[in-house]
Amino acid sequence: MEIKNNGNHDVNYGLIARKTIENLFDTFQTSKKGLSEGQAIRARNEYGDNKISYGKKTPFFIEMVKAYITPFTLVLIGLGITSFITDVVIAAPEERDFFGSCIIFAMVLISGTMTLIQSVRSNQAAEKLKSLVKVTATVKRKNKYDEIPMEEIVCGDIVKLSAGDMIPADIRLIATKDLFISQSALTGESYPVEKRSEAIITQNHSETSYENMVYMGSNVISGSAEGVVIGTGNRTLFGNVAGSLSSKPIQTSFETGIRKTSFLFIKFMALMAPTVIVINGFTKGDWMEAFLFGLSVAVGLTPEMLPMIVTTNLVKGATAMAKKGTVIKNLNSIQNFGAIDVLCTDKTGTLTQDKIILEYHLDLSGEEDDRVLRHAYLNSYYQTGLKNLLDVAIIDAAKEELDTKEIRYKKVDEIPFDFERRRMSVVVEDTSGKTQMITKGAIEEMLSISSFVDFRGTVTELTDEVRQEILKKVSELNEDGLRVIGVAQKTNPSVVGEFSVADESEMVLIGYLAFLDPPKETTKQALETLKTHGVGVKVLTGDNVLVTQSVCKQVGLGTEKLISGEDITNISDQELSHLVEKYNVFVKLNPHQKQQITRVLRENGHTVGFLGDGINDAPAMKAADVGISVDTAVDIAKESADVILLEKDLMILERGIISGRETFGNIMKYIKATASSNFGNMFSVLVASTFLPFLPMLPLQILFLNLIYDISCVSIPWDHMDREYLDEPKRWEASSIGKFMIWLGPTSSVFDITTYLLMYFVICPAVIGGEFHTLTPAQQVAFIAVFHAGWFVESLWSQTLVLHALRTPKIPFIQSRGSFIMTAITSLGIAVGTVLPFTNFGQSLGLAALPTDYWLWLAATTVSYLALVTIVKRFYIHRYKELL
């Protein structure tokens, strides 16, 4: 038996599709009368409920712990405790200050809360599936049809389907009449597909290609059917989609970057802090003071405001992108958005308009002919059955191109569509009493009932030669991705009683109708723009080869080779990893294959975005670094997405990618500039601690210096990026931060050390009146205060101004200038730090007023420092090919 106990084994669709109806009934212990209540209970026990399970939910408490306890928040918590100890516990009562520790713990709270919100949101996609399947179905139980909730359906139930129904489970058909199913949400196919119970299945295909199977998540366009339920709940194809959505989310490149960056700072702290403690303990003799100073060095090494800077950047980026038609659901996805180097997209509705249109109405010589459109309009307009997408396209085209108000006919009779004939006819009468039978349908069937052809108004006999010419023309249209049907007519058909199929004979074939799901007008330009910005596009669609080839040609992908889902069904991931790099267009894919290709691309080192709008796209969107959907998508696709476009337009996507890169660039400005300058400062402290007879800066001074600097950095999200930076995808590489620190950090140490020498041997002796070792204890305290003030101001100036030097590969202030907001706020920060030694608050921090000649030395030091940074920056860019 193919299905076992409560869904522990998958449905073998191929085997079931090839069973006879009798064997099918035996397999599921059912019959044409349906199940009895007892049989239904046994089936439910054996095969399980028709409910989608969404995986074992993680308790909220565990989600909360994971959100608040991460490597980075642990660093912040440690810094917060350190700040609390230095500012509160060991501080004198009148000097206790909760401000620094409160800020740090607030950052932990903000960062953790945002993570928790995103964790809760990630489960909403699977929950949304429930609202899609809250329907009833017509089920035969004890030889009587009844409407029952979909959840109560079991394997073996006989289900009746009719136009408009949602398929409530996976079903093997046992009787059909003119059944057309829309599988676009499940497979991506543009057109409805015909299903028939009597189809002969000779070999295995992809599950959705079996003509005698229908699947949960699709719906009936027209016709009716009966079938046996062969898969419920988790064992349906739809259930597999739900299962993939409830799985653990992938770790994106942004999350990996944050994690690696956190560990990088931890490594530097673990190396520098103990070294500083040991050196100062031995040289100064006060181990407690050395310990507190070492902890303050650890604080100084870490960009405490990183969570706030990152969050501010992301929020500002999300706001800017919303104005450009892009809604960001997951803030962390903004960086990933800018890092995308491969965009995988479904074809239907993303590259195309997701609307079947009548592209051509041609006479038999291949020329546009309104007469063909008029006859097709009469056929579609006057039929009483459910009008399918092709009928709607014909009627829409006629209203645009013809004066339909002047077409005055009355309907006489009709011969409905059925699968065997693959055509339908109407008989209409005009105002003069002339009647016409108008038939449209598949070309082969139309040729079989036509005895004549109409070439430009001349009716001639349909010969074999003419038949071959017609088939050749239709084949050419098919190769262009067009679906072609024929139109024929017969004037004043004679009939006794009602018209019947027998009257569809000796028709005159007058022309073709060619349909297409056309590409959007902006698609070609968007693909070219994405390419210029370093983003490769891969088409992953469930549609067929001919339609996909046609669309690809029209949007500029005409030279691409295609590979189908059947070709990759049984290959290994290693083989697939080569194929995904070689091919850019994949057709006839099922949802699992889309997900598999997306995953393999990520494993190959790409940052992958997936743009889709159907149920069949949801697993791939979940597997991508960035899941992208549109506002008109099905709920499950929107809930799976990180980013939602308010219009199905790739140009909006391109603008979003640029905004993502700008946001990421501003984050990198803060991290790299701050990490390198902090590293340089702490390296300077290490050197000074070895030779100075006192601490080069007090712990409280280091913390306050960092506070002024970090507040200045709040302006970075309002800065802009050089245009050249936005041309290529940007990945978060933690290793590049370490290289940047080692290369650019010591540049500040050069001038820190010159400042030490200047303050210790020149300025402080001149202000106080002697060298340090010759002074009284009171004079030494004054000497140290002037020294601390000199290095405090120099460190603030160099650390803040270097932001402007490191924000661009160009010459700062000349070739590239920061935004007005960034320039104003960083200038204000420098001004506050500069006047601080002259204030009572500054003196309470252990700083003293600086002499006039200090400022000349400071100006020379700052200019020299920025010049050296610019030179080293050039060497760094030459070596590593990038700055940020």
**b/e map 605-628, b = 16+ CB within 10 Å:** ebbbbbbbbbbbbbbbbbbbbbbb
Single out the residue of 254, 259, 268 nearest to residue 738, CA to CA.
268
Single out the residue of 659, 654, 650 nearest to residue 346, CA to CA.
650
**H or E element at residue 762:** none
Single out the residue of 193, 208, 183 nearest to residue 565, CA to CA.
208
- Residue 581 per-residue DSSP state: H
Q: How far is CA 433 from CA 62, 265, 849, in A?
A: 80, 90, 110
CB-based contact 184:163 (threshold 8 Å): no
Tell me the β-bridge partners of 76: none
Question: What type of residue is 884?
Answer: L
Cβ neighbours of residue 782 closer than 8 Å, sequence gap 6 or more: 767, 768, 848
Is 346 noted as a catalytic residue in this protein? yes
> For the chain, how many helices (H) and strands (E)?
31, 23
CB-based contact 318:727 (threshold 8 Å): no
3-state secondary structure of 359: strand
For the CA atoms of 572, 578, 580, 582, the dihedral, rounded to the nearest 10 degrees, stands at -140
CA atoms within 13 Å, Cβ hemisphere of 471: 11
Q: Residue 644 and residue 630: Cα distance in Å, rounded?
A: 5
Q: How far is CA 288 from CA 278, 573, 781, in A?
A: 11, 58, 19
Q: How far is CA 381 from CA 135, 357, 376, in A?
A: 32, 16, 8
Q: How many CB atoms lie within 10 A of CB 406?
A: 6
**Phi, psi (degrees; rounded to nearest 5) at 179:** -85, 120
3-state secondary structure of 794: helix
Q: Residue 193 and residue 199: Cα distance in Å, rounded?
A: 13
- Token pair recorded at residue 549: 């080839």
Q: How far is CA 268 from CA 257, 261, 263, 362, 880, in A?
A: 17, 11, 9, 74, 22
Pairing of strands 219-231, 170-182: antiparallel
Q: Residue 618 and residue 540: Cα distance in Å, rounded?
A: 13
What does the DSSP assignment read for 547-568? HHHHHHHHTT-TT--EEEGGGG
What length is written for the chain?
884
Q: Residue 519 and residue 521: Cα distance in Å, rounded?
A: 6
Q: How far is CA 789 from CA 52, 297, 398, 764, in A?
A: 67, 18, 84, 10
What does the DSSP assignment read for 131-178? HHT--EEEEEETTEEEEEEGGG--TT-EEEEETTPBP-SEEEEEEEEE
Q: Residue 122 and residue 793: Cα distance in Å, rounded?
A: 47
Residue for token pair 């079991």: 154
Q: Which of the following is catalytic: 157, 346, 354, 719?
A: 346
Active site amino acids: 346
